[in-house]
Structure 1
């Protein structure tokens, strides 16, 4: 028999044995979690690739995980490595998941997420490259960049607060590069109460930089007539006033620094002020109070300088 044909036949005979041993442990016969028959996937949505993170302060990492296979399985754990796979930490939640981590020294970093769905472990893991301390700014894929945050794994994602009082809802933020704030998104559609909805941009000390009404009565976007130039490292507050109350909120979201270029926020970034506490009743005012590290779904819109 020719040698090549013999080798092929030998391989065919041995393959089922090798495949079987790869899918079960010799001691128990149970499935080996290092080999997957379905597809377990995890992604990191916060921060983004090549983002520059501060050193010495907790930063929020968050993402999603899922399983796609012939048998329905639930994701049971997500582990995160902040040192390119040498050690692993268990994240909170599964899909979504989140974890806070502080880098202690500057330099290039590689972060990996790994999901487990019952007895199967994610095999193909993609490292997320980051910079701690200093590094080149990542390229932006957006001309119109909206502040956005993924779900956390340890909080209730979003609810509508039924407080009907008129209120100014905002977010305290910075940017990592020069550009302009062109407007604000404020997700509130209730049509009860008095007064008009207004979107605003403020300096950190409460100086009003711009304001605008909605394009239409049902619009949630407030576009400034003149875009406001903003500088990296400076803190700004984007807000919108709603005379109707009943606003969307996610509690305990801003418990750590978040970085998702071009935006940076610090803990307790969500801020508010009730209208009756402002200088002019029923017209809002500079929001400077925080509660339970809440996120009020106020979204600044940034246009980078090209």
Structure 2
């Protein structure tokens, strides 16, 4: 190579470094956030699969592909860095969920698998749990409703334990609220008045694995956080499940002074209240 060719090559390399091209590696990657391994879901009930995708400084994610059979067959689950997909299981067995991200130039390697049991009970981990039902992120609205209302989420636990408190996002109303735990049939099991974004029950509320419960809070003047079209499928993050009943999602509410057992639903809304749990 002549000295002139070497000079051109050096200048070109420096230009690539200065432009960022040299270190913007194209290596897209996708991760499944929910459900989690060991979770159990029902045949025919929509399951909400969520995840993230990234490609470092290179960016350029154009698609995320999902497989429920360990990578044998694939379908598109989304087109951005935060994706969600509704999958409706059709048969008893196991799902082996993996995902991969795609750019204009390459398809990333698959990640996972997340193993989910369909139509049969999962095996809870043998170790104890001190955990919070952290829901996948979404755009949150500050609802302008000023009426007294009870806002809640239907939930199940995959093992016996106790609800130690609730966590909630706050809207415009910043005053005290009443946190509650209900049985699936509407029996009040515990309540606690508090403020802020975390309210602890004294004493904690015992719960049984596999049974239905509702965690909620009552605000006397509306002003709450909400996200419509959120619970479009069952959300599973062991040891928690926010079930979809085949008609509507887990978010529930009830209007009235003093509150009450919430059973009404609206556009699969999430009211951003979730349990702290200990087993």
TM-score (norm. length: structure 2)? 0.82
Within the candidate set 37, 41, 44, 2:29 is matched to: 41
**Superposed CA offset, 1:180-230 (max 9, x none):** 11111222264567xx4110111222221110011xx4x222211111111
8 A contact 2:171–2:223 mirrored in 1: no
1:175 aligns with 2:157: yes
Partner of 1:247: 224
**Superposed CA offset, 1:94-129 (max 9, x none):** 221111112323333321101112222113533223
1:299 aligns with 2:279: no
Going from structure 1 to structure 2, the CA distance change for 1:105 and 1:197 (only over 3 Å counts) comes to: same
1:145 aligns with 2:131: yes
**Superposed CA offset, 1:117-149 (max 9, x none):** 222211353322332233542428773221122
1:77, CA displacement in angstroms? 0.5
Within the candidate set 35, 39, 44, 1:51 is matched to: 39
> What does 1:1-306 align with in structure 2 at a 5 Å threshold?
37-69=25-57, 72-134=58-120, 136-139=122-125, 143-151=129-137, 157-188=139-170, 190-191=172-173, 196-214=176-194, 217=195, 219-267=196-244, 268-275=249-256, 281=257, 283-304=258-279
Distance (Å, rounded) in 2 between the aligned partners of 1:119 and 1:140? 44
1:244, CA displacement in angstroms? 3.2
- The answer for unaligned runs of 5 or more in structure 1 is 1-35, 276-280
Going from structure 1 to structure 2, the CA distance change for 1:296 and 1:141 (only over 3 Å counts) comes to: farther
Distance (Å, rounded) in 2 between the aligned partners of 1:93 and 1:166? 39
Distance (Å, rounded) in 1 between the aligned partners of 2:266 and 2:126? 32
Structure 1 segments of 4 or more deviating over 6 A?
none
- The answer for unaligned runs of 5 or more in structure 2 is 1-23
8 A contact 1:145–1:303 mirrored in 2: yes
Distance (Å, rounded) in 2 between the aligned partners of 1:86 and 1:53? 21
Larger Rg: 1
1:265, CA displacement in angstroms? 2.1
Number of residue pairs aligned between Structure 1 and Structure 2: 252
8 A contact 2:124–2:158 mirrored in 1: no
Partner of 2:20: none
8 A contact 1:186–1:199 mirrored in 2: no
Distance (Å, rounded) in 1 between the aligned partners of 2:135 and 2:167? 14
RMSD after superposition:
2.2
